[in-house]
Structures are given as C-alpha cells and as structure tokens.
Structure 1
C-alpha cells in the first residue's frame, strides 16, 4: 500500500492488495493509516467503503468471494490471470482455465488474447475516476475507471508525469528506473589478448559487457538490447530471470518488480522506488516472468541458484 500511495497525488482510502478486508489511507503520497472492515464485510476500493461480503467480491481471493457470495457469477482469479472461477451462489465454486495464450478479462467475463492481464493493475485497489502514476514508466499515467487502468502518455514537450502534482512536466522526477534505460556507466577497459575474441561481464551492471574483438589492445563496452541481461557463461544476452546478477536488476528493463538474487525468489524489488518487499506466506515465491507471488517456487535460474558472496557485491 505504501507503493500505491506514492503513485497518487490525492487523499483517500485504498484497498489492501493482500487482504480484501483491510484498507489504507493515503495523504501526501504516504500511507498514514490502516484499518479493517467489520466481520462479514470486505473493502470495496472504487466506492472507498466496506460492503457486505455476500454481495461484494473480494479483490484478493476468488475462493473467499464464492464462499460468501449469495448470487451466481464469474470472478477473476487474483493470483492467476489465465483462470477464472464461477460462483454458484451457494458457497460452492468451479475454476476454469482460459485457452492457451489467452487471459481472463473480468470486465466482460471472457477470455481474451494476452499477454496483458486487464485486471492486473494497481487501479483494482484504488478509488474510481482518479489519475495515478504508472509504476512501469515515468512518462505514463493511469486513469482508474471501475477498477481498471486506462493508460495515457505525457506529450513530447512535457514528457514526465509527476504523481505528486498530477501533471506532465519537462523535469524527470523519477526516483528509480521506471522503465527508463539508465545512461552508460563508466567502465574501465581491460587489456585484450591478440587474436582472442571474448565477452566479459562489466561487473557494474547486469546488461553491460566488455568486448575484445581480437585486434584492439583494450576492450570496448557494450550493452544488451533493452529487456535482456548478459550471461558470461553463455556468452550472450538472455532473459534476466535465466541468469544471476548481483547488480541492479531493474536497469535496462521495463520490470515493475524484479526478484532479489540469493533469496530463492522470496523477495522482490519494486523498481520505480528501488524498495524491497516480501511475498506473503501463502504465496511465498515471486515469479518475475509473470510479475506475481505464487505458491510454488519457479524453476527460473534466479529462483533456484545463488551467487557466491563476492559476486553479489
């Protein structure tokens, strides 16, 4: 909730993304209070009120929704956008999976072609008809409408969105990467062995490398395409989740959340503010590829392997 308040210039109540019975209160981009609805109620973010759980969906649990809901209907699975659940209105439910390559869209109760998940947005927990910063980009904002985020971009002459004042401006106010590629870091070249072409990790970033072309006496610095990390063992640029790196894993990517190395994916970094969070106990692992906390440990390298202490400094 702290991260959600940081993206909103207004004052008011928001939902708790891990517990639909709890709420927070934002003021001056900070979380200043929290609370819990009465027994038998859940917090309804769009109206900023607690409502009876028998008539209102729980924003964090389809199972909890169906157990209390007195009317039949479809609800989204909060932890898996490829699935949806039908509540029979008597406490029972049935979960279905969308066809391969499709996501469930709760706004029209149908499966749509992905990869974007319509309800995977902080607007699901925010008041209706407000503007908030887009955590994935310093140059975009979201208009929250009925729990969904409608994306907008700042104009070229005022390219950066200021979440504190709700305006687009010329000055970059981002405190983190926010999807913006960082400038080339200063890297000292290394001596090259004549006739030997090699790529070496630059030791300062996850996406930079030093290249010896077999002719030059000293290496030159290069970088992977946006969204990829350099893997020295494989001598190529690959998915960040498929390699280990102890430097800033948010750089050169559009990741909103990045798994923290050497935590078995139990912790993640919120890239826009460079703050670290931990997944809840019932979904204790963070899956960087889908951007969600999950119950089972992902098979990705970042989750299954660790760096020696000296490589993580």
Structure 2
C-alpha cells in the first residue's frame, strides 16, 4: 500500500509541475514574469551577469540589463557585485549533466531517481520523451527501488556533499513564489534553491500578479490555472455552523434528496449522496420516503423533474401551472367552482384535496 500511495503522490506533484514550470529557464522573459509577482527581479537564466526586472504594473514593460565588466548579478541581493564575491548558479554547470537523458531506457510514465538531488527528495518523471524534474511532498523522500515517495524512516538517504539547485529556482531570489499553471489554489516557492508546492487556505486562491493568496472572489489567477470546484456545504448548517447528519430534502428540487454522513475529523460531509426519487414522486422529509408527488407539500417549482404539461400550484387547488423545459412558464385559474386535477390534466368539479395544493 505504501508503494501505491507514494505513486499517487508522485502523480499529483508531477501533474502540477507539468508545462511551463519545468521549462522555466527556457521561457521568454515575458513568460517568466507571467509566473512571478509584479516587480520581481531575477538573474537571467544561463547567465551570470544579466538581470531581468518584471513589470510593476499591467501597463509597464519588462526591463533587462547587464552588469558592468567584472561584476556578476547577485539574485538575493538584487544587484551587481564583484564577480569574485558572487556565486553564479550557472557557472560550472556541466552541459553533460544537463543533456543526459535518464529516461532513455525507461517506459513512458516511469519514475526514476534524480541524481542531482542532494536530499533524496528529487525524482524524474519520464513523460512523452521529456524529463520532468519534481520533488516529493514535504517530509517524504524518493526511494529508488520502489520508485515512490516514502517516509524518511523507510529509507536511508545517502547524503551528497554537493548541493544542486532546482532548475526553476536557479535564477530566482530565495522565497520567490511562482504561480501554478494548473491549479489556482496552489503555488510554488523557491526555498534554498529547491522548489516546494504550497496550498492557499480554504476559500482563497493565489493571485499571480500580487504573489500571495487572496479571497477567491477577488483573485486574478494565472491564465491557464483553474479554481477548484466549490466545496459542497449542503451538510453544514450555516445558521449554527454545525454539521447536519441524516436525510434531507434538496432545497432546489422536490424530487431529490441528500444523505449526509457523520462528520470526519470535525468537518461536515463534503461529498453527500445526492439521490432522485422515481419519476412522479417527491421526497417526503417527514416520512423519509419517496411518495406520489400529489401527496407531498413542496413550495419549489413543481414543473422541475416532471414530464407533465400542467401541474397543481402549492397553496391553491384552483390554480395550475404550465410547464415548458422543466420549469413553470405561466399560471392559470380554473373557472369558479372547479378545481385543477393534475392526474387528469384538467379542471374538475371534484376537489380531491391534494396535499400538493392545500394551504
């Protein structure tokens, strides 16, 4: 089970890393800045003395520059310093290491150890002939035999004396954030040149331009990132803040109902079962049963979920509603002394006192 769980974790992280993140060093400066907060300054990838400053507003342009002779750009200080005092992440980076294909003899979708990882968290996903580098989630390391992320107690990591930076973080200052190109409620952060995935708190998402999480209603996501589906709060009593447990009528349809299970870890059921009564029946909350729709009092649109043309109107047995497309489009009134009979689809002298239309 640990192997299966680890592989699922790998798939999650690798899918999130897909696309522009692993190719960050090869993007145009404009596309780099699209992933970064406004006014971020960085070392231009594959150089030691060129820098980029991202726009500080939507109207501004990317600024680029080069250090004077004898100087290198220090990404954390954000300025040029003496080359002898600077540490350039691209100086001495072997072309052989960059070009080596660790997926050459692997099948598509395989996970292999990343030899450039100094803390055993790194791994490589072989996808469509490309090498996608990623890290195991926090507190986990990559086990090369099982090819999965495991706890540190399950595998002894042979520590390397050489620390290698993550390609997406080599040119970025420490603690710089990058937008997740897939999930708007997540983002990445470079910490000590290693890339970490982060999640925004509930009901918030990552604003690509601002560089931090904001309320979902105010967020400006990265152009390809999507917000998660809203959490189902039907089983949460908003008035009291407590969880609802049991069977409940759908507040949007007379013919549907929910089953709310007991809370887990103090949280209400976010995936309640949503069921439908057979055609012609409504859910009766008092009897916890699906019953003939005419025997159930429902204040919602009675045209929803029926193939009838005319229906009784709640609270008035002489009136009727005309249905079209599963909704009431107009109402009518039977002649004086007549009552609408939904079963026979017409006005009748007999008042059947259907519960559906009784006051």
Q: TM-score with structure 2 length normalisation?
A: 0.34
Larger Rg: 2
